[in-house]
Amino acid sequence: MQQQRPRGRRPGPSVTREVIAEAAAALFAEVGYERATVRAIAARAGVDPRLVTHRFGTKQELFVQVMSPPIDPETIATALVGDPAGTGERLARVMVALLTHEPTRWRFLGLVRAAATEPAAATLLREVVERAVLAPVAARLPGPDASLRVALAGSQLVGLVMVGHVVQVGAVADADPEQLVRLLAPVLQHYLGPSLPSSP
């Protein structure tokens, strides 16, 4: 007689990293870094907590791996190539596309929510953003203030997530993507375009 598997529990060998990562990302987004325990993540994934630590290490390591900004620096860098007058619009389209793609939007939501409420999560996020996003993108821009300009441009994306999806202000959350691109483009052009006054 075939032995029945325990309900709600997947056998370890058949569980992929993606299942655990998806469960962790969803829980970080919903309840924040501190309240998303390894045990709770394991329960959502249907695995033993020891499997979570075996696959990812500590909760901090898990957070960094699954909640790193889902931004490919090369995608942003590509937006900087081309007619300088269109840099703002190209980057605005990249940002809006990230937030209209459901899995990506939820990851951003989790990052912003965790960083806003948990000092440990904010520290982890800052380290990842500076190393994986700001530095490689800033390297593509001229001027000594390139890192600051990229960070200010990135603040527009964080603001969209916070206002539109954490606070859920309807005017932003329900805005047409093309309208967002049109209104964001001049702001991003100011930060990253060639007309920005240089630092003294």
**Residue 185: which pLDDT band, with cuts at 50, 70 and 90?**
very high
Q: Which of 85, 110, 117, 114 is nearest to 190 (CA)?
A: 85
Coil, helix or strand for 175?
coil
* Domain boundaries along the sequence of the chain: 12-67, 73-192
With beta carbons less than 8 A apart as the criterion, state whether 88 and 76 touch. Answer: no
- Alpha carbons 126 and 151: distance in angstroms, whole number: 11
Percent pLDDT > 70 in the chain is 86
Q: What's the CATH number of domain 73-192, 1.10.357, 1.10.10, 1.10.472, 2.170.270?
A: 1.10.357
Q: Which residue has the tokens 């959502």?
A: 44
Residue ranges of alpha helices (H) inside 86-169 are: 87-100, 102-117, 119-129, 135-138, 146-161
| pTM (whole model) above 0.75 | no
- The phi, psi pair for 176, rounded to 5°, reads -70, 135
How high does pLDDT run on average in the chain?
A: 80
Distances (CA, A) of 83 to 31, 38, 128, 140: 43, 48, 30, 15
| Euclidean distance between the first and the last CA atom of the chain, given in angstroms as a whole number | 81
- Alpha carbons 74 and 39: distance in angstroms, whole number: 36
The per-residue pLDDT for range 110-152, each reduced to its tens digit, is 777 777 777 777 887 787 678 767 787 788 788 888 889 888 9
Q: Which residue has the tokens 């590509």?
A: 78
**CATH 1.20.58.100 matches 12-67:** no
